[in-house]
Amino acid sequence: MNKLPEYSKSYLALRNGQDKPQIWVAFKGIIYDVTESRLWKNGKHYEHWAGQDLTDELKDAPHSDQVFAKFEVVGRLV
């Protein structure tokens, strides 16, 4: 994964399903495209918003980090 494009937090923030059509989230420095997920429609998943780093929020989720395995990796958060 070292050859992945690098994106800033401000770039990620625009991929929130509102400002741009892409819906991205970051976890542990990796950015995932969740655009096609029915659970992330309009950039919101329960009380979580897309376009941000969800690393600290996963501890409150009813699932493990394995949930990210089904989504395309689009870059690294720098």
Distance from the first to the final alpha carbon of the chain? 14
State the Cα–Cα distance between residues 33 and 35, nearest whole angstrom. Answer: 6
Six-digit token pair at 10?
A: 């401000």
Average pLDDT value for residue range 8-26? 95
Q: Which residue has the higher pLDDT, 57 or 73?
A: 73
Q: Which residue has the higher pLDDT, 48 or 20?
A: 20
Residue 26 lies in a domain: yes
- pLDDT tens for each residue of 32-71: 999 999 888 888 877 788 999 999 877 766 566 678 899 9
Decide: helix, strand or coil at residue 26.
Answer: strand
CATH number at residue 14: 3.10.120.10
State the Cα–Cα distance between residues 52 and 14, nearest whole angstrom. Answer: 9
Residue 1 lies in a domain: no
Work out whether strand 24-27 and strand 48-49 pair parallel, antiparallel, or are unpaired.
unpaired
Residue-range definition of the domain harbouring residue 38:
6-77
What is the total count of domains within the chain? 1
